[in-house]
Structure formats: C-alpha cells, structure tokens
Amino acid sequence: MKKYSYCRVVCFFFISAAMLQGCAKTLPNIQPETTNGYAGSSSLKIEMRLLNEAYKNLIECLILKIPEGIEDPFREVKKAKISTEEALDKGQIYLPMESDKIMQFEEMYKQFYQKLDVLIEASKKKEMETLRDLTPQLLNGCIQCHDRFRS
C-alpha cells in the first residue's frame, strides 16, 4: 500500500477510535431490566455496548497488525445477538425514531452481520487488505443505523 494511503487508513482508525470512545462515555449504564416497557431494547443496548468494545479492539488490532486478535471480542457480541434476535422475533425492540420501520432496521442489522462475518473470516486468514476495507464499511453501517433509528 502506498505511504499516503497507509497514513489515511491509520488516521481514519485513530479518529474512529476517538469517536467511539466519546460515544461510549455518553451511553447510560445498561441494566438487564426493561427500557420503555420493551425488554428487548435492553438486549440490543447490551449488544451495542459489546460491539463498541469489539470495534475498538478491531481498530487496535489493525493498527498493530494483529488480525488474530480480532475475533474473540466479536464472539461476545454474537452471544448477545442471540438475545436481540429473540427480542426482534417477539416484537420487543423499541426504536426511538421511526419505530414503525422495524423491518428496515432488521434488514440493516442483517447486512451489518453479514459484513461482520466476512471480516471475521478475513481475520482468520490474516487478509489485512480486506480487514482495512471492511472496517470503515462496518462503522458507516453503525452511523447510518443510528442516524436513522436513534434519537
């Protein structure tokens, strides 16, 4: 990769890490109780917190060129995903904005995890270029979903 491109990727990762760190500080302490009467909303928030930590780890592993360190935190995310999917199936997820668009949320959620699965496979194969390409795509997926469905 050209020096200029490498610098852009590293800068992007540092900026992303700073943004995620700032966002994490604004999240309330999540308890497994209900949120706005929807038990599933808590499972989604727990999943998003774990995802935030896994994404920060992803950035660190990319910067340090340690692809084998990427997968483990995402295992916890996938465990939490099971509860969120159950809540989605039961209609227990509450979206602060455009709550009538739950099917669009589910589609974005599904697409995100499809890309995440590709990223995890790339980490196992140590395909750094694929990891560098997918990382900002995943972040953009997070931003788009939050812009659309979170107040």
Neighbouring CB atoms inside 10 A of 113's CB total 16
Q: How far is the C-alpha of 42 from the C-alpha of 26, rounded, in Å? A: 16
Residues 6+ apart with CB under 8 A from 132: 9, 62
Task: Give the pLDDT score at 8.
Answer: 60
Task: Give the pLDDT score at 24.
Answer: 47
Task: Give the pLDDT score at 9.
Answer: 58
Task: Give the pLDDT score at 21.
Answer: 54
Distances (CA, A) of 25 to 18, 79, 96: 11, 23, 20
pLDDT per residue over 23-45, tens digit each? 444 444 433 333 334 356 789 99
Per DSSP, what are the bridge partners of residue 35?
Answer: 38
Question: Phi then psi for 38, rounded to 5 degrees?
Answer: -115, 105
pLDDT per residue over 114-138, tens digit each? 999 999 999 999 999 999 999 999 9
The pLDDT of 98-119, averaged and rounded, is 94
